[in-house]
Structure 1
Amino acid sequence: MVVSSILGFPRMGANRDLKKATEAYWAGKISQDELLAEGKRLRHEHWKIQKDAGIDSIPSNDFAFYDQVLDHIQLFGVVPERYTKYNLSKLDEYFAMGRGLQKPATDSSSAVDVPSLAQEMVKWFDSNYHYVKPTLQDNQTFKLSSNPKPVAEFLEAKEAGIVTRPVILGPVSFLHLGKADRGQSIEPISALDKLLPLYEDLLKQLKEAGAETVQIDEPILVFDLPKAAKEAFKPAYEKLGGSNGPKVVLATYFGDIVHNIDVLDHLKNLYAIHVDLVRNPEQLNTVAGALGPQQVLSAGVVDGRNIWKTNFKNAIEIVEAAVQKLGKDRVIVASSSSLLHTPHTLASEKKLNPEIADWFSFAVEKAKEIAIIAKAVTDGPASVREALEANAKSQQSRASSSITNDKEVKDRQSKVTEEMHNRKSPFPDRIAQQQQRLNLPLFPTTTIGSFPQTKEIRVQRNKFTKNEITAEEYEKFIEKEIQDCVKIQEELDLDVYVHGEPERNDMVQYFGERLNGYAFTTNGWVQSYGSRCVRPPIVVGDIARPAPMTVKESKYAASISKKPMKGMLTGPITCLRWSFPRDDVHQSVQAQQLALALRDEVVDLEKAGVFVIQVDEPALREGLPLRAGKERTDYLKWAVDSFRLSTAGVEDGTQIHSHFCYSEFQDFFYAIAALDADVLSIENSKSDAKLLKVFVDEAYPRHIGPGVYDIHSPRVPSQKEIEDRIAEMLQYLKPEQLWIDPDCGLKTRQWKETKAALINMVNAAKTFREKYSK
């Protein structure tokens, strides 16, 4: 029979339970034992959901309090000494690596200030999930924890009556995704021989605990791999695929592995190979042909990255094609990847248009879809006829809906010309006019956009959403918040202000709610990093802007400001990437529609007297196809065109900014330069200045604001610390190029720490301003 499996399940819970508990622990409102108990409750709840859906192979160890890679960093003892020296509890050490830790002195303990500098956080492949990079030393040693988390959670599920399939990140991917610590030169993959015995020990412990199979994730097989990483699979799985451990399901996802198909020659001792047949269904024949004579194919046919109902007809055809090649006993029906990237359940959505809701499937529903597909192939379509007929009806409804199709949008797209992508003059002419208008000092200071979203802001927004206050009352409240933000920036003596975005919930959702072609959820939360959850809007049809989206607030802020006010927009690629996109038209079509809507907004901001406009594109990097070649070249062309189309409608004297965070863009820097933004701000605080060198190598001519401190940590950097960062930047950049700013928005921070950090930042900038003006 064809069996079913899931590669991983969302962690947060139906009501963001884990987020709330974790943040309560950080705030000292609950104990460590209470947090651990809540984690256990959620794990049991999620295992039961999958069991009740009919899933045969249910994952364990897919749960994490912060990040699954950070779990492995601690599991194998890859913890830099700067975190271990404080004698923190294991849980506090874990959180310190992810977000830093700053505690005042008490009667019983001294002050603790643990910077999060070493533990870089970057995007997980091309998703909007962030993982913490393993950081290795030249003399790196490894030590398996005394009570390994994968074993403990397997036994926990077993005690509850559910025999799970533990999930662990494979040793080759774990090392390849890591980096050498600052000042170190180790090639992480060279530590494989030291690490493998610990993996062998872990697998042995899992088998002794009763695990029959284990899922080992090696997602880097979708990359173009360097020789050392590719050759590492053979020795690794000669050891890990032996008889001393459970049967191994080696999982890949987010791409195809055809270009690395020769690696499968060294993996024939493994029980099964999982591939993503949603992203790349065409790899089925090649992968099936490369399997060993008894080896099983795990067919990822239910999308773990998007929220659309699975097209049962198409998915069943793919699985049946695999069965014809291999037989029913050698095929597993699975999610394409972990369902971590999808919301918890559609059942929580009470306000969605029923027509649109009928097109969606979240994690709980996807579990049922997987079981239905497996049953359809095993027992025949008649066994699930009702489900198949309902699914076909949903597919037809979506394709023919007027929500999906807008003729006016398509007509406007057909009239886009090449000239519409270009500013009127080159940068030297523009910057001269901008400087005359804005009169900015050397080393101008600004922030990235958002200021702290206080409890009062959230309360008032919630009241407005529930119609407990009027639109007029809410607008007055927002104006007061903007007034306060402007006053604070005056006191801080920043040079370019922002209005603080008190009216905005999320940098993409806010725009999605104001555009035709979008739907948005009430509880469709997805983990982005740590306790940070986002609620991605959903592109359901052709996109258009029915009315201005940000002009009123920005115009008001500019009218009460003594210095230039910056209008804040989210760029077309980020709006697309941080939404759940359509899967029925190419993403370039959706990006161009977003660009045209934003172009109208940019022009309207300029008309309203806002002459600095930031169009953020932090997601540009994550949209990059994972492999070099034509697909990547094509993506960069339409992505850059979309940004330029959105920003090129203004006059030369209006300054266009853009922001990038956690973007390793060294390999495609030409595309960043091609955006033709007047000022770039980039995340730099966790990147060891590695991004700065590329600006020198490429002789970047425009202005740059590398972040001078990490806003994801609650710690306050000293003025000296920021001055040291600026001095480091000036080794790469000219003084007249350099802007001084944090590395991202301040929405998630508290006002006390925000003001303290910005005071130090402004004073540091003034120190260098005085130095270079002599």
Structure 2
Amino acid sequence: MQTLAYGFPKLGEKREFKSLLESFWKGKVSEAEFLTGMNALRDWMADTYSSSVDIFPSNEISYYDFILDTALMVGAVPSRFGEYKGIETYFEMARGRQAMEMSKYFNTNYHYIVPELESKNFYLLKNYPLEEYLYFKSKGIDTLPKLISPYTFLKLSKALVKSEGSSLPFYHLSKIEKIQDMENYLNAILPVYEEVLKQLKQEGAREVLIEDPALCYDMDSQEWDLVYEMYNCLSKYVHVYVITYYDSVSDYERFVRLPVKALGFDLVSSTENLENIRKYGFPSDKKLIAGIINGRQVWRANLVEKIRLVEELLKITPHLLISNSCPLFHLPISVEPEEELPVHSVQIEGLPTLSLKERLAFAKEKLKELKLIKEAIEGHQQARMEVERIQHLVSVPFGVREEVREKIANLKEEDFERKVPYRERSKLQQGVLQLPAFPTTTIGSFPQTEEVRKMRSSYVAGKISESEYKEFIKKQIQQAIKIQEDIGLDVLVHGEFERTDMVEFFAQKLEGVATTKHGWVLSYGSRVYRPPIIYGDVYRPAPMTVEEISYAQSLTEKPVKGMLTGPVTILNWSYYREDIPKREIAYQIALALLEEVKDLEAAGIKIIQIDEPAFREGVPLKRKDWKEYFDWAIKAFRLCSRAEPHVQIHTHMCYSEFNDIIEYIYQMDFDVISIEASRSKGEIIEAFERFKDWDRQIGIGVYDIHSPAVPTKESIASVLERSMKVLPKELLWVNPDCGLKTRRWEEVIPALKNMVEVAKEFRERYAVV
């Protein structure tokens, strides 16, 4: 038995990746210095792997996104970027003025760059797997070159297709859904992959690791035929190890018949894979890669159970590798530096006071768990003693609060409904708000300048008092309100200067939720966040946002939005406890948020935005599991949004595929939704063509905030024009596609001015007051 790990977070112990990347973008380091720094990260990652596991991959340090790397590898560079000029073109595709669309990687919070396939003329542009394999080979390090499979790559891509019977432009980008189209694209892209593998073989690579999580989607027999032929081609050159994750494979019997050397299963996310292994057995001519250590959750594994499982699998096949269940980049680097996590009052004989830290395992600790399981099975006495010690730790209840559980048990169906239907509510709200047509607003946050970050750090470090910090925040709010009024926005926000992150801020205010100091995770590019840890029953001990929102509202006659993060997003962007159903956790958070909604309402706030950018992200990969998820996700939003009918409830969603879940979104019963439409070139509007009953107000994101480029009035107008072909103009709001926290004021102010001017022009052009 051997250990295999993959997907280790590239961020670095001290966020070296983020620092290096942003320094390069700002011109503070040269390209040569940038590449040298990235090589240092490669060395660090290899050292980390080799200290714990037997086998690890290369090709894991992407400069922005590994799906974008794959697009470049096969020559899929959209024509608007012109001739490929190396790293310059790479970052233009990722974050330039005409940047490609971003979307969520399966059901995770990692954002990938969506490949655009303008043709089927693929060619080998850059052999990333070979370059990194040779880098390690030159150092005498044997690695397993890693690639994204052609099938998964194409499932995540969008192809330029001709519109038929649509009000959208003549050509648009669309997912590859027809089986004949998929076959044609696979036939076109396979020669490039074959050339990659040929070159790897020539340089001494004997095996490759191919990630194919799309095999966990619902698949029909024809798709499996294509996948079989695909691996038949790839296996001619090297031994192929295929790994799947985030769910069970869609057809176990077809999967185990693939002509490859090893097959990887996620044995954590569901029980189906393990049940099938037990029921049907496993081929004797293949290796089984058992994903037994959770790559998405921070809890220490019950190693006694894991050892028992491994021993069972060894009886089924002797050709066993134990691994993480999915990529480890969903986790922080290490729990070691965390010294301020909650401590449990219960004492365990023979152990020190139990801290939450003792129950956690981040990426480094996951590698050590794999090593510990192997050593315990091999009979190492010290390893067995450590397993027993950990068993005591993970078995103790932590963070139980009976009154919270009682509230959940007493919920009734009417608790999930607003008192008045939308059509009546909208009339009441317009009577109160008196908004013009094409009302303008922003999503919530304004630039977190270096001064803001410095003052927050000083406050956290105790260098300034709470009163000094609050006075500073008030001045930032004053400035933001004045800027918004000068620009002419219709609905204002307070700017969220007191918030580090839209989830972390609320986690720090709620009980039963812990936050870390160093638990950073990459979301996209250099953007990092620290997912909270929901360890116990959740409740709100005091108001969380009322002070800042009320102060902002006191400065203006225009409405200021109360800004909350929704229960589904707080849950999905946190590491959550596993001893009770997700439904119950979501309802606990929703009840805490409902208390906040009622306090904002009592303070005179007339618009409350409850953001749910992770609503789509949590959707299971297989449609058979959708009903259960949407049942509790919709109810959780409804539970926390039960404001009085005159209060307008907004929500915001971004960078997700909404087209296939639009009917579920509608059931959330909000009054206004804002969505991303700039990077996707308005493709999301197709969803509203098919959903004929849409009657809610909607803010189509008119420009991409993830690019530093200031949008032109023409580009903003084009998004609105496209929207009006499908949606009544009376329903449209005008806003950016996401929050402005990561931008600079020099970019934000002219962008918002252009946006407001376009909205005013549209009111005049369409004679709407």
Please tell me the TM-score bracket, short chain as reference.
over 0.9
> CA–CA distance in 2 between the matches of 1:617 and 1:632?
17
Corresponding residue to 1:302 among 286, 290, 293: 293
Q: Answer yes or no: is 1:418 the counterpart of 2:413.
A: yes
Cα displacement (A) at 1:227: 5.4
Residue identity matched to 1:125: F
Residue identity matched to 2:245: Y
Residue aligning to 2:732: 738
Cα displacement (A) at 1:228: 5.0
Residue aligning to 2:743: 749
Residue identity (%): 41
Residue identity matched to 1:361: A
> CA–CA distance in 2 between the matches of 1:228 and 1:662?
30
Secondary structure class of the residue paired with 1:181: strand
Residue aligning to 2:543: 548
Q: Answer yes or no: is 1:660 the counterpart of 2:653.
A: yes
Q: Answer yes or no: is 1:261 the counterpart of 2:240.
A: no
1:473-492 CA-partner distances (Å, limit 9, x unpaired): 00000000000000000011
Cα displacement (A) at 1:391: 1.2
> CA–CA distance in 1 between the matches of 2:412 and 2:271?
35
1:326-363 CA-partner distances (Å, limit 9, x unpaired): 12xx1101011111110001112132246100000011
> CA–CA distance in 2 between the matches of 1:712 and 1:231?
40
State whether residues 264 and 291 of structure 1, in contact with CA within 8 Å, keep that contact through their aligned partners in structure 2.
Answer: no
Residue aligning to 2:335: 346
Residue aligning to 2:93: 97
State whether residues 249 and 273 of structure 1, in contact with CA within 8 Å, keep that contact through their aligned partners in structure 2.
Answer: yes
Residue aligning to 2:352: none
Residue identity matched to 2:764: E
State whether residues 7 and 60 of structure 2, in contact with CA within 8 Å, keep that contact through their aligned partners in structure 1.
Answer: yes
Cα displacement (A) at 1:381: 6.4
Q: Answer yes or no: is 1:625 the counterpart of 2:624.
A: no
Corresponding residue to 1:73 among 53, 67, 71: 71
> CA–CA distance in 2 between the matches of 1:638 and 1:652?
23
State whether residues 6 and 57 of structure 1, in contact with CA within 8 Å, keep that contact through their aligned partners in structure 2.
Answer: yes
Alignment of 1:191-590 (within 5 A): 191-225=185-219, 229-242=223-236, 244-245=237-238, 247-257=239-249, 259-264=250-255, 266-267=257-258, 269-287=259-277, 289=280, 291-327=282-318, 330-353=319-342, 355-377=355-377, 379-380=378-379, 382=381, 384-397=383-396, 400-401=397-398, 404-590=399-585
> CA–CA distance in 2 between the matches of 1:743 and 1:228?
38
Secondary structure class of the residue paired with 1:691: helix
Residue aligning to 1:63: 61
Residue identity matched to 1:524: G
> CA–CA distance in 2 between the matches of 1:374 and 1:456?
50
Cα displacement (A) at 1:639: 0.5
> CA–CA distance in 2 between the matches of 1:64 and 1:581?
28
> Are residues 227 and 706 of structure 1, via their aligned partners in 2, closer, same or farther at CA, if it must alter by over 3 Å?
farther
> CA–CA distance in 1 between the matches of 2:375 and 2:204?
27
> CA–CA distance in 2 between the matches of 1:237 and 1:695?
38
Secondary structure class of the residue paired with 1:249: strand
Residue identity matched to 2:156: L
Residue identity matched to 1:271: K
> CA–CA distance in 1 between the matches of 2:134 and 2:426?
63
State whether residues 233 and 266 of structure 1, in contact with CA within 8 Å, keep that contact through their aligned partners in structure 2.
Answer: no
Cα displacement (A) at 1:689: 2.2
Tell me how large the CA RMSD over aligned residues is: 1.5
State whether residues 136 and 188 of structure 1, in contact with CA within 8 Å, keep that contact through their aligned partners in structure 2.
Answer: no
Corresponding residue to 1:123 among 85, 98, 104: 104
Cα displacement (A) at 1:190: 1.9
Is the deviation greater in 424-433 or in 158-167?
158-167
Structure-2-length-normalised TM-score: 0.94
> Are residues 537 and 265 of structure 1, via their aligned partners in 2, closer, same or farther at CA, if it must alter by over 3 Å?
closer
Secondary structure class of the residue paired with 1:479: helix
Residue aligning to 1:52: 51
State whether residues 64 and 525 of structure 2, in contact with CA within 8 Å, keep that contact through their aligned partners in structure 1.
Answer: yes
Residue identity matched to 2:340: K
State whether residues 175 and 189 of structure 1, in contact with CA within 8 Å, keep that contact through their aligned partners in structure 2.
Answer: no
Is the deviation greater in 544-553 or in 723-732?
723-732
Secondary structure class of the residue paired with 1:347: coil
Structure-1-length-normalised TM-score: 0.93
Cα displacement (A) at 1:46: 1.0
State whether residues 265 and 290 of structure 1, in contact with CA within 8 Å, keep that contact through their aligned partners in structure 2.
Answer: no
State whether residues 681 and 707 of structure 1, in contact with CA within 8 Å, keep that contact through their aligned partners in structure 2.
Answer: yes
> Are residues 713 and 188 of structure 1, via their aligned partners in 2, closer, same or farther at CA, if it must alter by over 3 Å?
farther
State whether residues 233 and 263 of structure 1, in contact with CA within 8 Å, keep that contact through their aligned partners in structure 2.
Answer: no
> CA–CA distance in 1 between the matches of 2:734 and 2:198?
52
State whether residues 562 and 600 of structure 2, in contact with CA within 8 Å, keep that contact through their aligned partners in structure 1.
Answer: yes
> CA–CA distance in 1 between the matches of 2:612 and 2:648?
16
Cα displacement (A) at 1:226: 5.2
Residue aligning to 2:164: none
State whether residues 176 and 229 of structure 1, in contact with CA within 8 Å, keep that contact through their aligned partners in structure 2.
Answer: no
Residue identity matched to 1:275: F
Is the deviation greater in 157-166 or in 462-471?
157-166
Residue identity matched to 1:742: P
Residue identity matched to 1:34: E
> Are residues 334 and 522 of structure 1, via their aligned partners in 2, closer, same or farther at CA, if it must alter by over 3 Å?
same
Cα displacement (A) at 1:234: 1.5
State whether residues 659 and 686 of structure 2, in contact with CA within 8 Å, keep that contact through their aligned partners in structure 1.
Answer: no
> CA–CA distance in 2 between the matches of 1:380 and 1:324?
17
Residue identity matched to 2:235: G
> CA–CA distance in 2 between the matches of 1:484 and 1:250?
54
Cα displacement (A) at 1:290: 5.9
> CA–CA distance in 2 between the matches of 1:145 and 1:706?
36
Residue aligning to 2:27: 28
State whether residues 176 and 189 of structure 1, in contact with CA within 8 Å, keep that contact through their aligned partners in structure 2.
Answer: no
Cα displacement (A) at 1:431: 1.0
State whether residues 121 and 131 of structure 1, in contact with CA within 8 Å, keep that contact through their aligned partners in structure 2.
Answer: yes
> Are residues 161 and 350 of structure 1, via their aligned partners in 2, closer, same or farther at CA, if it must alter by over 3 Å?
farther
> CA–CA distance in 2 between the matches of 1:217 and 1:69?
11
> CA–CA distance in 2 between the matches of 1:598 and 1:719?
38
Cα displacement (A) at 1:583: 1.6
Residue identity matched to 1:142: F
Alignment of 1:637-652 (within 5 A): 637-648=631-642, 650-652=643-645
State whether residues 59 and 147 of structure 2, in contact with CA within 8 Å, keep that contact through their aligned partners in structure 1.
Answer: yes
Cα displacement (A) at 1:550: 0.4
Secondary structure class of the residue paired with 1:498: coil
> CA–CA distance in 2 between the matches of 1:556 and 1:24?
37
Residue identity matched to 1:551: V
> CA–CA distance in 1 between the matches of 2:356 and 2:610?
30
Secondary structure class of the residue paired with 2:623: coil
Residue aligning to 1:679: 672
Residue identity matched to 1:745: G
Secondary structure class of the residue paired with 2:229: helix
State whether residues 56 and 143 of structure 2, in contact with CA within 8 Å, keep that contact through their aligned partners in structure 1.
Answer: yes
> CA–CA distance in 1 between the matches of 2:189 and 2:65?
20
Residue identity matched to 2:81: Y
Secondary structure class of the residue paired with 2:576: coil
1:72-106 CA-partner distances (Å, limit 9, x unpaired): 11111111111134x63x11211111111xxxxxx
> CA–CA distance in 1 between the matches of 2:112 and 2:276?
31
1:281-301 CA-partner distances (Å, limit 9, x unpaired): 442252473643221100000
Q: Answer yes or no: is 1:171 the counterpart of 2:150.
A: yes
Residue aligning to 1:142: 122
> CA–CA distance in 2 between the matches of 1:229 and 1:142?
21
Cα displacement (A) at 1:155: 1.7
Secondary structure class of the residue paired with 2:498: coil
Structure 2 unaligned residues grouped into runs of 5+: 162-170, 344-354
> CA–CA distance in 2 between the matches of 1:133 and 1:189?
20
Cα displacement (A) at 1:558: 0.4
> CA–CA distance in 2 between the matches of 1:285 and 1:653?
52
Structure 1 unaligned residues grouped into runs of 5+: 101-113
Residue aligning to 1:759: 753
